[in-house]
Chain A
């Protein structure tokens, strides 16, 4: 080492240390970016409102003796999943629309830590939002259920449905994040994930058969089985000619989709130009 180089490294030592990019700092930066957006708060509030609102609306029709106490509380997930999806898509694709990604990837040239940070931050927000949605739905359907303000976790089935709601919301948010990071355009990512989660399932449901039922079981929407109680799962399995995955099996299918889409996004991020997505 030459004297000049030694002098250069010795002098700005404090500064050099401060400039080091660690995953923890990237996570903090992603949290700052996400929590600094007003739209994040609105999406979270909208998700909670949609879940509780749909639960109340469905509660007007539900027969109190037919469904378990938790079934009504989590019934808002049909709408709430869209909130989680939008959250993930915005985190994954938002920076490419505005051009902020240039700053982000100049600061973190290894790029992948950004995706890791986004995964952690999105999971956190999605979980907190889902818990909030459960609380709001419980309070909102208090009178309709005729039980206490909050759902008592009386048995394993109830606990699984409530935890399943949170896990499903987190999984859908991560699917949206992966699609957003992979496609880099919010509208395209949203359309693709809605097709996968909602439309294809509806389409296959109109044409039941061994092939269609197997395909339905392997779509990411199979994760919604986490939210369905045991009686409903049994009814679904009885009507299906495809594989009977059970609740956790459906969750694993969604998890596999999340891993594959995120891996594809990570591959695109590492191997290909980030700036190519601008100016189309």
Chain B
């Protein structure tokens, strides 16, 4: 150790050049994310919603003759995914609304590391949220299972894959929200886009199958009509469809008429939904004015 270094020992904790490294940017984004009250509000709301809804759903169906509590695990996911989605959109758009982005991009003039840092911080916090939410869902099915003297076996029968798929789809939803938010930069358009993509388009497509369905046709056995196959393929390739495949119990075939992607394929589709808007946001960040 040289004399100057001994005189200023704290200097070793700072980057020598004064340039922010990626690690520092990630740490800064983590600080920003975890010092907002709304982040924790979303965490708590997501976990509570997941646990309570799964409990209600499992209790409601616990009277059925063939009741399997593990089938109820994913019932709260439709509502629980809104929490991570909003978290991601807020991380992506928050600084542009408040003006804090000026300070951020003055500190990190290369800009793209900020997006990387936001992605890492959001993924980490969403992972924590997702693990707690899935844990709450598991706790939620226990009373219903106990009322029927069933001990849910979480370690076998493909349940670990379902639980991992739930965690992955919640984290993916948060990152999709971040990507859309970073691309559009304004909370209301970003939320509308995310809601349309994740929640409304699947409903609209179900409407399409209803309009296309022939009520007089034989219900099963024959080949799936072309129109229905097209709609189901689109549904499968939407983020919600991919998340549905990720959380499907093993052994269940995919949607009728749609290509069977499997778990890995569904994960790839969801990853593509995150990476494409994220890359577009990075391009916009690098090449366009911050406004």
- CB 8 Å contact bits of B206-247 with A (1 = contact, 0 = none): 011101101100000000000110110000000000000000
- Is B60 interfacial (CB-CB < 8 Å)? yes
What's the Cα separation between A81 and B211 when bound, in Å?
A: 20
What's the Cα separation between A187 and B79 when bound, in Å?
A: 17
- CB 8 Å contact bits of B91-134 with A (1 = contact, 0 = none): 00000010000000000000000000000000000000000000
- CB 8 Å contact bits of B58-88 with A (1 = contact, 0 = none): 0011000000000000011011001000100
> When the two chains form their complex, are residues A203 and B187 in contact, meaning their CB atoms are under 8 A apart?
no
- Is B57 interfacial (CB-CB < 8 Å)? yes
Partner of B211, one of A66, A82, A86: A66
- Is B199 interfacial (CB-CB < 8 Å)? yes
Partner of A79, one of B53, B75, B204: B204
> When the two chains form their complex, are residues B199 and A199 in contact, meaning their CB atoms are under 8 A apart?
yes
> When the two chains form their complex, are residues B192 and A86 in contact, meaning their CB atoms are under 8 A apart?
yes
Q: Which residue of B lies closest to A89 (CB)?
A: B188
Q: A203-B79, A206-B75 are in contact. Are A58 and B207 (CB under 8 A)?
A: yes
- CB 8 Å contact bits of A71-85 with B (1 = contact, 0 = none): 110010011001000
Q: How far is the CB of B162 from chain A (nearest CB, A)?
A: 16
Q: Which residue of B lies closest to A81 (CB)?
A: B200
Q: In the complex, which residues 154-209 of chain B have their Cβ closer than 8 Å to any Cβ of chain A?
A: 187-188, 191-192, 195-196, 199-200, 203-204, 207-209
Q: Which residue of A lies closest to B204 (CB)?
A: A78
> When the two chains form their complex, are residues B211 and A58 in contact, meaning their CB atoms are under 8 A apart?
yes
- Is A24 interfacial (CB-CB < 8 Å)? no
> When the two chains form their complex, are residues B199 and A209 in contact, meaning their CB atoms are under 8 A apart?
no
> When the two chains form their complex, are residues A198 and B188 in contact, meaning their CB atoms are under 8 A apart?
no
Q: A66-B215, A79-B204 are in contact. Are A90 and B196 (CB under 8 A)?
A: no
- Is B278 interfacial (CB-CB < 8 Å)? no
New contact pairs (18) apart from A67-B211, A198-B203, CB-CB < 8 Å: A57-B204, A58-B204, A58-B208, A60-B227, A61-B227, A61-B231, A62-B212, A66-B215, A75-B211, A78-B207, A187-B191, A190-B191, A194-B82, A194-B195, A203-B76, A203-B79, A206-B75, A209-B60
Q: How far is the CB of A106 from chain B (nearest CB, A)?
A: 24
What's the Cα separation between A79 and B195 when bound, in Å?
A: 10
| CB-defined contacts of A61 to chain B, threshold 8 Å | 208-209, 211-212, 227-228, 230-231
Q: Which residue of B lies closest to A198 (CB)?
A: B199
| CB-defined contacts of A207 to chain B, threshold 8 Å | 56-57, 60-61, 75
| CB-defined contacts of A203 to chain B, threshold 8 Å | 53, 75-76, 78-79
What's the Cα separation between A67 and B195 when bound, in Å?
A: 28
- Is A211 interfacial (CB-CB < 8 Å)? yes
B: contact size bracket: 35 or more
What's the Cα separation between A207 and B215 when bound, in Å?
A: 24
- Is B90 interfacial (CB-CB < 8 Å)? yes
> When the two chains form their complex, are residues B200 and A82 in contact, meaning their CB atoms are under 8 A apart?
yes
Looking at chain B's contact residues, the main secondary structure is: helix
Q: Which residue of A lies closest to B53 (CB)?
A: A203
What's the Cα separation between A141 and B86 when bound, in Å?
A: 35
- CB 8 Å contact bits of A39-57 with B (1 = contact, 0 = none): 0000000000000001001
Partner of A191, one of B78, B86, B200, B231: B86
What's the Cα separation between A63 and B211 when bound, in Å?
A: 6
| CB-defined contacts of B86 to chain A, threshold 8 Å | 187, 191
> When the two chains form their complex, are residues A57 and B208 in contact, meaning their CB atoms are under 8 A apart?
yes
Which residue of A86, A90, A203 has the most chain B CB atoms within 10 A of its CB atom? Answer: A203
> When the two chains form their complex, are residues A187 and B90 in contact, meaning their CB atoms are under 8 A apart?
yes
| CB-defined contacts of A67 to chain B, threshold 8 Å | 211
Q: Which residue of A lies closest to B215 (CB)?
A: A66
**Ranked 5 nearest A-B pairs via Cβ:** A61-B212, A62-B211, A187-B187, A61-B227, A61-B208
Q: A187-B188, A211-B60 are in contact. Are A202 and B78 (CB under 8 A)?
A: yes
Q: How far is the CB of A45 from chain B (nearest CB, A)?
A: 14
Q: A89-B188, A202-B78, A206-B75 are in contact. Are A194 and B199 (CB under 8 A)?
A: yes
| CB-defined contacts of B89 to chain A, threshold 8 Å | 187
- Is A147 interfacial (CB-CB < 8 Å)? no
Q: How far is the CB of A44 from chain B (nearest CB, A)?
A: 14
Q: In the complex, which residues 190-224 of chain A have their Cβ closer than 8 Å to any Cβ of chain B?
A: 190-191, 194-195, 198-200, 202-203, 206-207, 209, 211-212
> When the two chains form their complex, are residues A86 and B188 in contact, meaning their CB atoms are under 8 A apart?
yes
- CB 8 Å contact bits of A224-257 with B (1 = contact, 0 = none): 0000000000000000000000000000000000
User: Can you report 23 residue pairs joining A to B where beta carbons are below 8 Å apart?
Assistant: A58-B211, A61-B208, A61-B227, A62-B212, A66-B215, A71-B211, A75-B211, A78-B203, A78-B207, A79-B204, A82-B195, A82-B196, A86-B192, A190-B188, A190-B191, A190-B192, A194-B82, A194-B191, A198-B199, A202-B199, A202-B203, A207-B75, A211-B60
- Is A178 interfacial (CB-CB < 8 Å)? no
| CB-defined contacts of A202 to chain B, threshold 8 Å | 78, 199, 203
